[in-house]
Amino acid sequence: MIYTILEIKAVVLICIAIYVFALYPFVLKFLAKYFSKPVKKDINFQPALTVLIAAYNEENYIEDCILSLENCDYPKDKFNIFVGIDGATDNTDKVIQELQTKYQNINYWIFERGGKNLVINKLLEKVETDYVVFMDADIRIRKNSLMNLSSYLVDETVGGVMATLNIVEKGIINDNAGRDGETFYQKMETVIRDNESKIFGNTNALGTLYIVKKSNLTSQPNDKVCDDFFNVIFTAKCKKRFIFDKTTVVDEIREKSLSAELKRRVRMVAGGLATIQANWQLLLPNYGWSSFFLWSHKLLRYLSPLILIYLLVVAIILPEESFLKYPLIYLQGIFYLMGFLGYIFDKLKIKIKLFRLALFVLIMNVGFLFGIIRFLFGGQNSKWEKIG
């Protein structure tokens, strides 16, 4: 009897994994055909904006970031730039001081080192405009970025809107599994975000340029949540739409490597789980589409390493006569072997995309697992470090 229960659970978990990673994008595409809700746009809607940039040792990035804002086509008298420096030990403040001699809309404050979330909370206290723009120092906006995103805010059902991301690799481009895997992953994410937005609203942060109505913002509750993800799903909690605009592209300066992606996944999952915990009501069915998206797009995906561990353990302990034992052993053996070969080939600079993808999925799940552990032990998440 106990083996039957283990088999049933294994089949259910396999179905969940297939749904989350393979079927969900197609389910969304189907739903978007019948449940799309158009968004009003007005390119002439140009409200006053406050751009918030939380910075930690960004002397090499902050100037180009601010210049991309100053050179955009949004009216200069309609936006201010607030930079919060998180106890920096470099020359970020001196770079900003030099820029202030040329531009009148730049303000900055140096706060005691406390993490990104604390900096954002302190900057929000100083905001007087109805709309707040969030961006990081490694983001470079394009000429029409603010203009395009602001055009969605005329719709009263919209609480926020985000741009899509183009990763510009700094220095020598490393042709590796981390780069290939993340490229594929982001293509899938773009399809998901776009269709969620068509149906109601995106429930996934991108860490890029985004604008939120101040009435749909609240203080970051602790130093464990992901600041951008928290703002996105709190907007959903206010029952407002968060639109993903795939036509508005901003550039992010970043290095890609497996080690960097592993660290990013750990931080993302630990912070993501803490953020969902802080907004647990969104998991209830009375939040409709937002609840469905959050379960399918985020929470169940975060749990994928636990599914892999369960399937591995079950494959070992099931009796010989079980119909699942050998399929589980063979399929998992092939997957882990492909991941191992992907690692070897990556070191040897041999490019085989299938093996690279297997390695990326494996590393991603390792990151997810460490992220779950970090969340369970209450690890701090907002005092960020450079990870590439």
Does residue 90 form part of some domain?
A: yes
For the segment 291-300, the average pLDDT, to the nearest whole number, is 96
Write down the pTM of the prediction: 0.91
Reported as half-sphere exposure (CB side, CA atoms, 13 A), residue 233 has a value of 33
**Helices and strands, counts by H and E, the chain:** 14, 8
Does residue 176 form part of some domain?
A: yes
Does residue 134 form part of some domain?
A: yes
pLDDT digits 0-9 by tens, 20-68: 999 999 999 999 999 999 999 999 999 999 999 999 999 999 999 999 9
For the segment 292-315, the average pLDDT, to the nearest whole number, is 96
Do the beta carbons of residue 59 and residue 133 sit within 8 Å?
A: no
Does residue 215 form part of some domain?
A: yes
Query: SS3 for 152?
Result: helix
pLDDT for residue 209 is more than 90: yes
Q: Which domain holds residue 160?
A: 49-257
Measuring CA to CA, which residue among 80, 72, 71, 73 is closest to residue 104?
80
Rg (CA), the chain: 22
pLDDT for residue 387 is more than 60: no
Going edge to edge, which strands form the sheet with 79-86?
A: 106-111, 79-86, 49-55, 131-134, 210-213, 158-169, 241-254, 139-140
- For every residue of 31-83, DSSP letters joined together read HHHHH-------TT----EEEEEEESS-TTTHHHHHHHHHTSSS-GGGEEEEE
pLDDT of residue 86: 93
Does residue 116 form part of some domain?
A: yes
pLDDT of residue 89: 86
Number of domains in the chain: 1
Residue 226 sits in a domain whose CATH number is 3.90.550.10
pLDDT of residue 48: 98
Q: Tell me which DSSP letter residue 377 carries.
A: T
Does residue 80 form part of some domain?
A: yes
pLDDT range class, residue 133, cuts 50, 70, 90: very high
pLDDT for residue 193 is more than 50: yes
pLDDT digits 0-9 by tens, 221-254: 988 999 999 999 999 999 999 999 999 999 988 6
pLDDT of residue 129: 98
pLDDT for residue 126 is more than 60: yes
Does residue 376 form part of some domain?
A: no
Does residue 39 form part of some domain?
A: no
